[in-house]
């Protein structure tokens, strides 16, 4: 015969746990990499005083975009009536693809942009493909180049932009320097020395000069 078992009562163990997570991000010596470290710790009301349990740490190395912009031209000096060809080379020196590229170029006084001369291409290794670019002249002689949203600049690829400008007589009053930039790149500039040309206030006469009496 089984003897009855009398239930005397019950108790509940309540454990309160406090979790704390620590995140640390930092760039390695290679500028194209970022290290993210994560570690969590826990403590509870029912644990011995000042007891904190730490978890193992984890690290995640992510790639980043590093854009380098170079600006050149086909000549170092020009005068009113000349055409100057500018070239922009935007290279992705990082380890992650670059998208949403916003490239702008501010022209000096007296430089007239020639929209029909605009050309674009992307080079990577031995491969080159054409890119259709647009342009928009904003205030203060700034050109905003429209890059397709579908364009992604892979690591070690270069976006090439070529366009021409007409040097007008107003260029004599300017400094001949224009500045290009992408929000994630360096600032690239190029200086064209402006000569007065036929607008000069002095000249040389070749031939004979007769004085009538």
Higher-confidence residue of 27 and 20: namely 20
- CA–CA distance, 157 with 150 (Å, rounded to integer): 15
175 alpha carbon, distance to own chain's centre:
26
18 pLDDT tier (thresholds 50, 70, 90): low
Cβ atoms of 104 and 144 within 8 Å: the answer is yes
Q: What mean pLDDT comes out for the span 86-95? A: 96
pLDDT reported for residue 31: 44
Report, in angstroms and rounded to the nearest whole number, the Rg of the chain calculated over CA atoms.
Answer: 33
pLDDT reported for residue 206: 73
Q: How many other CB atoms are found less than 10 A from the CB of residue 85?
A: 14
Q: What mean pLDDT comes out for the span 79-106? A: 96
Cβ atoms of 71 and 88 within 8 Å: the answer is yes
**For residue range 164-198, what is the model confidence (pLDDT) as tens digits?**
999 999 999 999 999 999 999 999 999 999 998 76
pLDDT reported for residue 51: 72
**Total H helices, total E strands in the chain:** 0, 16
- CA–CA distance, 213 with 196 (Å, rounded to integer): 35
The backbone torsions φ and ψ at residue 172, rounded to the nearest 5 degrees and listed phi first, read -65, -30
Closest CA to 171 of 104, 82, 88, 85: 82
pLDDT reported for residue 32: 44
- CA–CA distance, 79 with 111 (Å, rounded to integer): 11
Cβ atoms of 80 and 169 within 8 Å: the answer is yes
CATH topology of domain 67-196: Immunoglobulin-like (2.60.40)
What share of the chain has pLDDT > 70, as a percent? Answer: 70
pLDDT reported for residue 125: 87
**For residue range 102-129, what is the model confidence (pLDDT) as tens digits?**
999 999 999 999 999 999 999 998 999 9
- At residue 28, does pLDDT exceed 50? no
- At residue 34, does pLDDT exceed 70? no
- Domain ranges in the chain? 17-63, 67-196
**For residue range 39-68, what is the model confidence (pLDDT) as tens digits?**
676 666 666 777 766 767 676 556 788 999
pLDDT reported for residue 191: 97
The whole-chain average pLDDT of the chain stands at 82
Higher-confidence residue of 204 and 1: namely 204
pLDDT reported for residue 58: 72
Q: How many other CB atoms are found less than 10 A from the CB of residue 117?
A: 14
- CA–CA distance, 88 with 143 (Å, rounded to integer): 13
């Amino acid at each position: 015969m089984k003897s009855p078992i009398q239930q005397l009562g019950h108790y509940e163990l309540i454990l309160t746990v406090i979790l704390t997570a620590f995140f640390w991000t930092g760039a390695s010596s290679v500028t194209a990499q970022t290290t993210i470290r994560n570690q969590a710790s826990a403590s509870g009301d029912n644990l011995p005083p000042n007891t904190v349990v730490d978890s193992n740490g984890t690290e995640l190395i992510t790639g980043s975009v590093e854009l380098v912009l170079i600006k050149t031209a086909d000549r170092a000096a020009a005068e009113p009536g000349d055409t100057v060809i500018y070239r922009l080379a935007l290279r992705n020196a990082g380890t992650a693809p670059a998208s949403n590229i916003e490239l702008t170029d501010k022209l000096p006084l007296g430089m007239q942009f020639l929209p029909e001369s605009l050309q674009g291409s992307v080079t990577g290794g031995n491969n080159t493909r054409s890119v259709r670019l647009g342009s928009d002249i904003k205030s203060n002689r700034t050109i905003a180049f429209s890059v397709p949203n579908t364009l992604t600049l892979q690591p070690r690829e270069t976006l090439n932009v070529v366009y021409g400008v007409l040097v007008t007589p107003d260029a004599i009053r300017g400094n001949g320097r224009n500045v290009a930039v992408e929000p994630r790149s360096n600032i690239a500039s190029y200086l064209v020395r402006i000569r007065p040309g036929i607008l000069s206030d002095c000249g040389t006469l070749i031939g004979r000069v007769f004085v009538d009496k």
